[in-house]
Amino acid sequence: MTMLSRIRRALVIAPHPDDEILGCGGTMAAIVAGGGEVHVVIVTRGQQPRFDVAQAEQVYREAKRAHQHLGIAETHFLGLPAAELDRLPHADLNAAIAGVVKDVRPDTLFVPFVGDLHMDHRLVFEAAMVAARPRGGSYPQRILAYETVSETNWSAPTLAPAFHPNVFVEITDFLDAKLNAFACFVSQCQPFPDERSIETLSALAAVRGSTVTREAAEAFMLIREVS
């Protein structure tokens, strides 16, 4: 039995809309195809004056279309201020994410990498770990950190934590689903050679796949697993 087949209910925590597709869109599709249930929580929303309201609404609509394409069970929007989580009391961020974890009761948690360049990503990782503390009899059995192009790989080398994947999920049969889901983000999808492009995601999947002799894969760092 593979790790993927043991996932019955997953929660993917995304600091911003599209992070979840970039990091584990293929894995989400694979879980759903295997009869599992996937929830996504989008932590932030662009707010004035830093972001245009119409643009924020568009990205939310794009996320809903992408998630519908992948068969996501439910999308939870927390609506916290994007690019300003460092101004929010940590207790409030912790409580918001913990509330979703408590309601969904996932066996598996997918979180952004702690070493990502964007401060929102790092704060969401820490809040997710607080929410997933192994207390009592109900907490996520496994926690995996995903990589986000233009965030995970742009942090300062040797100074920030490095992403060294130790879990690879084959997505050969689900790469098209991931790419099509990302294409739903018309406002975010960029022409190559921008990293947030269809070509880059396809190339990264090939690189991660060839690491384990597969055509396509997504890579993760296992934070914790209780068996």
Domains located in the chain, CATH noted: 3-225 (3.40.50.10320)
196 has a pLDDT exceeding 90: yes
Note the pLDDT of residue 128. 98
Condensed to tens digits (0 to 9), the pLDDT of residues 127-151 reads 999 999 998 888 999 999 999 999 9
Query: Across residues 180-190, what is the average pLDDT?
Result: 97
211, 219 contact by CB (below 8 A): yes
Q: What is the per-residue pLDDT for 137?
A: 80
**Looking at residue 186, what DSSP letter applies?**
T
| CA distance from start to end of the chain | 13
Indicate the residue type of 135: R
Separation between Cα atoms, residue 118 and residue 169, nearest integer Å: 25
Paired with 130 in beta bridges are: none
Long-range contacts of 204-207 (CB under 8 A, 24+ apart): 204/149, 205/26, 205/171, 205/175, 205/178
**Lowest model confidence (mean pLDDT) among 36-45, 153-162, 172-181, 199-208:** 153-162
CA atoms within 13 A on the CB side of 145: 24
Grade residue 78 by pLDDT with cuts at 50, 70 and 90.
Answer: very high
Residue 188 has a pLDDT of 95
- Residue 208 to residue 98: CA distance in whole angstroms: 31
pLDDT of residue 202 exceeding 90, the answer is yes
CA 109 – CA 41 distance, rounded (Å): 11
Share of the chain above pLDDT 90, in %: 93
The rounded distance, in Å, linking the Cα atoms of 150 and 16 is 13
Amino acid found at 184:
C
Unique residue bearing structure tokens 């995903």? 146
Residue among 60, 39, 57 at smallest CA distance from 48: 57
Predicted confidence at residue 2, as pLDDT, reads 87
